Amino acid sequence: MPIGALFRSLRPHEWSKNLVIFAALALSKHLFELKPALYAVSAFALFCGLSGTVYLINDVADLERDRLHPRKRLRPIASGAVSLRFATIAAVLLGSLSLGGSFLLGWPFAACAGLYLAMNLLYSFALKEVVILDVLCISLGFVLRAVAGAEAVSVEISEWLLVCTILLALFLALSKRRHELTSLSDTASEHRRILSEYSPYLLDQMIAVVTASCLTAYAFYTLARETRDKYQTDRLSWTIPFVLYGIFRYLYLVHQKEQGGSPTDILLTDWPLLIDVALWAIAIVAIVYTAHGTPMQLGR
């Protein structure tokens, strides 16, 4: 059986998107405690399974269109390395195991996992052809990951952080749409019909709005009284330059280098951006864990 090709269809390089699950754990000041860390790692693994299921379903649903794409035609299902029947069976089994396993982390986490899978199924077969809702659906997937991460370790997550998450995810989704539209040119709508509803100008306007909103929301989060009271420090605002550089660097890559088709590939291959994200994460952990605020109470 084409196990290797099937594993590639799960797109393990995209699983880094599930790292947002650890956000609530890190900000709860329990990152270095064994039990909550194991819960978070389990949640991450389950969402990797759910993500893989979604990618399999997407590749099955988009088979004919992927075969018209210069790069996606090389994917295992589009190229014929993995049969439709085998991919479908694998998606059902993996989705069932991942969703069933989510109940081990509690009903709230399982509800997030179920909503994530249901929303992505709806996206694969309907919402991806509805203008604006297509990118909103992608963004809500990141919000559900963040909420699931909080539910896995039974801590609250800041509303500001959820706002920042959806805005950043929108920024990435719109940038990806722009790259698809400009790189495929006249054949864009043949690959993805929804691209005919967008134009580079419209996407640039939307990206501009989301970029400004994301930066403003993050600044408000770091400066909010509830954030200062929780961590007993106002030093989180020191991380704003990292966010500014990261977003500006990404815009540079999208507009000047004509990248943006895969946010994960950019993050893993562009060293300035990768270093910036790493420094931002280190700064967040250093500030939160050297402050004198009280750790958020775990529910378990």
pLDDT per position as a tens digit, 61-113: 887 777 877 777 878 888 888 888 998 999 999 999 999 999 999 999 999 99
pLDDT-derived band at 190 (thresholds 50, 70, 90) equals: low
Work out how many domains the chain is built from and give that number.
Answer: 1
Please tell me the predicted confidence (pLDDT) of residue 300.
54
- Residue 133, domain member (yes or no): yes
Please tell me the predicted confidence (pLDDT) of residue 267.
84
- Residue 164, domain member (yes or no): yes
The tokens for 234 are 């106002």
- Residue 300, domain member (yes or no): no
**Residue 181 confidence (pLDDT) above 90:** no
Please tell me the predicted confidence (pLDDT) of residue 202.
95
User: What b-and-e string marks burial along 105-140, b requiring 16 or more CB atoms within 10 Å of the CB?
Assistant: bbeebbbbbbebbebbbebbeebbeeeebbbbbbbb
- Residue 9, domain member (yes or no): yes
CATH number at residue 74: 1.10.357.140
Q: How many CB atoms lie within 10 A of CB 295?
A: 15
- Residue 189, domain member (yes or no): yes
The tokens for 190 are 């043949």
Q: Which structural domain range is residue 166 located in?
A: 3-290
**Residue 206 confidence (pLDDT) above 60:** yes
CA distance 249 to 273: 7
Coil, helix or strand for 154?
Answer: coil
Identify the DSSP state of 29: T
**Residue 295 confidence (pLDDT) above 90:** no
- Residues in CB range of 290: below 8 A, 6 or more apart: none
- Residue 299, domain member (yes or no): no
Per-position DSSP letters for 45-108, written without gaps between them: HHHHHHHHHHHHHHHHHTHHHHTTSTTGGGSHHHHTSS-HHHHHHHHHHHHHHHHHHHGGG-HH
